[in-house]
Structures are given as structure tokens and as C-alpha cells.
Amino acid sequence: MSLIPRNPQKPTGCPDQVLRTQRLFSMVAPFYDLVLARSMTRVYRNAVDLLLRTDLHAPGPRPTPPGPGLSILSPSGRQQPHDPHPAPTALDVGTGTGLFASELARAGFQVTAIDSCSAMLRVAQRHRPSAARYILAEAHLASRQPGAPFDVVCAGMLLHGLPREYRKEVLADMVRSARNAVMVVDYFPPGNLITAAVERLEGSHYREFLHEFGDDLAGVAASALVHPLTATCALYVLPLSHRPQNH
């Protein structure tokens, strides 16, 4: 699928630190998949599989035992071949090279994927051209993308790299653009010294994120499901099916 030019509704108020991070990822884009594709694909695949086993329509959502019949998106179950209903939609915010988007597409989602780094999107388009509709757009513009609102809005290893005020803006816009759930794969406490050192080199907000993200989630959703995926990363699911209709 083709890479769409920069979203015409882009405001100009992106924090300077985020712009510096964009420049860093522009430099590492050619090597990103060589280093991280295998490990992060495993993480994202596990996260998507867990999401598909979570009933978001029941009070107090919990993972369900593995099985072929249950969907988070509809009480009637996952889409089957020749199903007249359209595929569920997903937006991947900060898609990078499209690893998360590819796992969503593999699970049957129709995926739109946005990122503010054109170099990363070029890699995504080259390595995973059929996974998503790729759009060059800032992270806080989820609700302005064609196709919004989406059944699920996702962000993989993005939010810890954002300063808190901008992170809260991005998270709130993700909630606005989602029908059923927001899905975040990112770090969770306790901290890890090696991870902290690497993230410090990147200029991320890793340590602050570990302390603040629980409150950030509470500010946008009544409840969250947190499921560890690795020793350092977790899946955060915000079910939205019971929020007020005028939200």
C-alpha cells in the first residue's frame, strides 16, 4: 500500500524532545528491524493473541482460555470466512517499521498505521507493504485519521518516550479515536537497570513513565487490564465498551 503524504491537519506544537527523537529514529531506521524485529514480533504477537481472548463487553474484563470462538470486538465471535460483516479496524499509533501493525493484520484487522518519522515508514512500506495503510502523522492525531473511530487503537513501545504532558495528550486522543479498546504495549514496574541505561541514551522518559503511567491511565479510563509479556514489558488494555455514549 502506498505511503500517504503528511496529514494536512498537523499542528505545529510537537515538543522539541519528540522532534529530537524523530531525528534519532531517522538515523536508526535502516538497522531497526535487524536488531529488534524478531524479539518485538514475539511480544506483539503475544499481545494481540491476548487481546483476542479478552471479552471487553463483560464487566471486569479478564483473559479467557485459548479457543477459536471468542472475540473482544463482537459478542457473536471472531470474523469467519465469508462473514458479511467487515473486518474489525485498528489504528497503530507510532507504528515505526510496522511490526505491531503486521501482527494486527495477521489477526484479521484492517489496519491504519501512523508515525511521524518518514524514514521508519519507508522501512515499514518496504518490509510489510500489505500490513497497513501507512500515514505520516504525529501521535496526537489519532482521532483525525481517515476511518476514525477504530475498533481498537494501539501503541507499541511509544508512550515511555514522550514527555508526560504530551503523553497524556496522545493517550487521551487514542481514547477518543477508539470504539472498543485502547491497547498499549510498553514498560511496566519495577525498573530494570540495563533498560534504564539504554533508554537514557535515547533520551526517553523511562523512569518517569514507570511512576506516572498508572495515573495517566486512571485519568482516561475507569479500569485497565495489565498483563506482563516479558520481564520488562506489559500489555495494558483499556476497555471502552461501557463508557457513556456521549464520551
Total of domains in the chain: 1
Task: Give me the pLDDT at residue 64, please.
Answer: 52
**By residue range, what is the domain housing residue 225?**
16-49+86-239
* Whole-structure pTM value: 0.86
What's the one-letter identity of residue 73? L
Report how far residue 17's alpha carbon sits from residue 165's, in angstroms, rounded to the nearest whole number: 12
What are the grid coordinates assigned to 178, written together?
477508539
Domain membership of residue 81 (yes or no) is: no
Distance of CA 207 to the CA centre of its chain: 20
Domain membership of residue 69 (yes or no) is: no
Report how far residue 129's alpha carbon sits from residue 54's, in angstroms, rounded to the nearest whole number: 29
Looking at residue 150, which CATH number applies to its domain? 3.40.50.150
Q: Is the model's pLDDT at 63 over the cut of 80? A: no
Highest mean pLDDT among 23-32, 36-45, 200-209: 36-45
- Nearest residue to 15 (alpha-carbon basis) of 146, 168, 129: 168
Q: Is the dihedral of CA 224, 227, 229, 231 positive or negative?
A: positive
Average pLDDT estimate for 122-147? 97
Domain membership of residue 25 (yes or no) is: yes
201 pLDDT band, cuts 50/70/90, is confident
Domain membership of residue 180 (yes or no) is: yes
Among the residue ranges 56-60, 93-97, 136-140, the one predicted with the least confidence is 56-60
What are the grid coordinates assigned to 3, written together?
505511503
**Strand ranges, E, within 85-158:** 89-93, 110-115, 133-136, 150-156
Domain membership of residue 169 (yes or no) is: yes
Domain membership of residue 11 (yes or no) is: no
